[in-house]
Structure 1
Amino acid sequence: MREFRVQSAVLVTVVAAVLGLVTGPALAADDDGHERIVGGSRVDEGTYPWVVRLSVGCGGTLVAPQVVLTAGHCVKGSGADTSMRITGGSVDLDSSRAQTVRSTQVYRAPGYSDATKGDDWALIALDQPFDLPTVTLASDTRYDQGRFTVMGWGSTKEGSATQQRKLRAVDVDYVSDSSCDRKYGKIGMEIVGSDMICAARTGKDSCQGDSGGPLVRLDATGSWLQIGIVSWGYGCARKNFPGVYGQVSTFSHDIAVGLAVLRSRLA
């Protein structure tokens, strides 16, 4: 059985039966002895104020004070949904600074059917706005290359369902579509689509529980720009198998449409 990952903690049982359990990268120790992803580190408070955590075991970003962008496979579908709690405002989920609100509506990409087939994005409307900055989404491909940063509260070792209390981040490098296709083609998976972007560095990757979280980089003005959404991959940090992310620039217009729909419902 192919050990593919769809990086949502809440979907582990289902995905294990269909795609196989995730694997994780090697571990190292922080100065305080806590484990961390090799090459990554805990994030300082306030560094990425727009990243949030979903109670379903996914990440997300604030694209408007009252709307979160996440992966399509993190939600059940479009429509009313008050089941999710969204936490933001601190890298430490247990901090007194952390704020928690509830979901009210979901707008999932109309073309979504499976993470590996693309259109893996969704918007979640909240019952009240966060008093936090929002992230800017890439609207074209000019920054869809180079070195990126990916972050989340997900697992740090293979097969673990344990999620992190504190946000962690790691840098990964762009992998071209043709190279990514060749790598996955070796195991019969020639499915890296035009609305996906691949990124990797040896021993560095997003993993289970990081789904929906952001792949970002700095733009020419020094501002953070969201390039991708954590989506799927073959294991975690496996050599020759990059992580695969939803490519934000390819569906930025569709996201804008979804935002308009949710805003009309919030009005």
Structure 2
Amino acid sequence: MIDGVVADPANWPATIIFASRTFDGRSYHCTGTIVGPRVVLTAAHCLKSTASVTIGGRNYRLDCTPHEKFVPVESGPPSAWYFDWALCSSKLEFQVPFYEVARASEDYWQAYRTAVTQVKILGFGCTNNGRASNLLSIGDSVITEHPVPTDTSREEVSTLMRVTAGATSCKGDSGGALYHIDRRNGRRAIVATVAAGPENNSYTFAPSTWTHWFQGFATQWTGRRGNEYKICGVHSDVHERCRLAPEL
């Protein structure tokens, strides 16, 4: 995290280091978020060969699926990151105090789509000195570009939010969540996940989970796996731990 501060893990137990290994044996990490009893949300470009997370000393193997429209690229135009989401399933239920809400309701989105500018961004990425970090960082950021309004009849599509002020992402923050905090009640919901940014870390691209593209992806993903893989905020009555995140 560039211009972030160390976060208190007790406030964010569902934010995890997403460890992966390439086919040639090299290891690396991104950031992921537990958004259901057996579901992790991260970035599609973080997927290589195998993936796992370790929570409380227990290792969970993950089966991950990228959005079908995601095209893996090392660098490219903003459109390369429009569908940079992945959902991962675990056969074991995650033992954390609560799960994060991956998507607010449609009426909430319609009310806040253009009003949401202040967000918090989390990740286990490098810091201002460029060094890798295993510490969770948090920062206040400002959204300066919003997704194109949802319309399935249009050829033009943009799911991206662009964050150009405040804290921005660094390597290792990929897949981390951007949160909107509701000033009315202090509750929070994920509005996007970190995809990419330039080498100088001057901004962050983040595909929004508040779009029909993510909603459709998440609904179909769960439909292929069963009700035990429902997602907080996408499906109703998932689990009581979907509603226990502390107010900020």
TM over 0.5: yes
Matched residue of 1:60: which SS?
strand
Measure the CA separation in 1 of the matches of 2:223 and 2:132. Answer: 33
Pairwise CA RMSD: 2.6
Instruction: Answer yes or no: is the 8 Å Cα contact 2:121–2:141 preserved in 1.
Output: yes
Correspondence 1:87 to 2:54: yes
Instruction: Answer yes or no: is the 8 Å Cα contact 1:151–1:213 preserved in 2.
Output: yes
Correspondence 1:262 to 2:225: yes
Q: Per-residue CA shift, 1:207-257, capped at 9, x if unaligned?
A: 11110110112134322200010001223442xxx3110111111232122
Measure the CA separation in 2 of the matches of 1:59 and 1:138. Answer: 18
Which of 138, 142, 146 pairs up with 1:169? 138
Aligned to 2:71: 113
1:189-208 alignment to 2 at 5 Å? 194-202=158-166, 204-208=167-171
Instruction: Answer yes or no: is the 8 Å Cα contact 1:173–1:201 preserved in 2.
Output: yes
Q: Per-residue CA shift, 1:68-94, capped at 9, x if unaligned?
A: 011111113xxxx7x322134xxxxxx
What is the TM-score when the length of structure 2 is the normalising length? 0.70
Measure the CA separation in 1 of the matches of 2:163 and 2:87. Answer: 23
Q: Per-residue CA shift, 1:190-217, capped at 9, x if unaligned?
A: xx95111111225x21111110110112
Measure the CA separation in 1 of the matches of 2:42 and 2:71. Answer: 15
Measure the CA separation in 2 of the matches of 1:264 and 1:104. Answer: 17
Measure the CA separation in 2 of the matches of 1:55 and 1:231. Answer: 16
What amino acid does structure 1 have at the position aligned with 2:207?
A: G
Correspondence 1:72 to 2:49: no
Gaps of 5+ in 1: 1-24, 26-36, 89-97, 179-191
Aligned to 2:118: 147
Percent identical pairs in the alignment equals 22
Q: Per-residue CA shift, 1:137-187, capped at 9, x if unaligned?
A: 2244344422101111111146x4x43122111110011249xxxxxxxxx
Measure the CA separation in 1 of the matches of 2:200 and 2:221. Answer: 31
Measure the CA separation in 1 of the matches of 2:121 and 2:138. Answer: 6
What is the TM-score when the length of structure 1 is the normalising length? 0.66
Aligned to 2:216: 253
What amino acid does structure 2 have at the position aligned with 1:165?
A: N
* Structure 1 runs of 4+ with >4 Å offset: none
Closer, same or farther: CA 200–42 of 1 in aligned 2, 3 Å:
same
Aligned to 1:222: 186
Instruction: Answer yes or no: is the 8 Å Cα contact 2:38–2:228 preserved in 1.
Output: no
Aligned to 2:23: none
Measure the CA separation in 2 of the matches of 1:101 and 1:264. Answer: 23
What amino acid does structure 2 have at the position aligned with 1:152?
A: G
Measure the CA separation in 1 of the matches of 2:30 and 2:16. Answer: 9
What amino acid does structure 1 have at the position aligned with 2:117?
A: G
Instruction: Answer yes or no: is the 8 Å Cα contact 1:207–1:236 preserved in 2.
Output: no
1:115-134 alignment to 2 at 5 Å? 116=78, 117=80, 118-132=82-96, 133-134=98-99
Aligned to 2:234: none
What amino acid does structure 1 have at the position aligned with 2:197?
A: G
Aligned to 2:205: 244
Instruction: Answer yes or no: is the 8 Å Cα contact 2:37–2:228 preserved in 1.
Output: no
Aligned to 1:136: 101
Closer, same or farther: CA 236–143 of 1 in aligned 2, 3 Å:
farther
Q: How many Å apart are 1:111 and its aligned residue?
A: 1.0
Matched residue of 1:252: which SS?
helix
Matched residue of 1:248: which SS?
coil
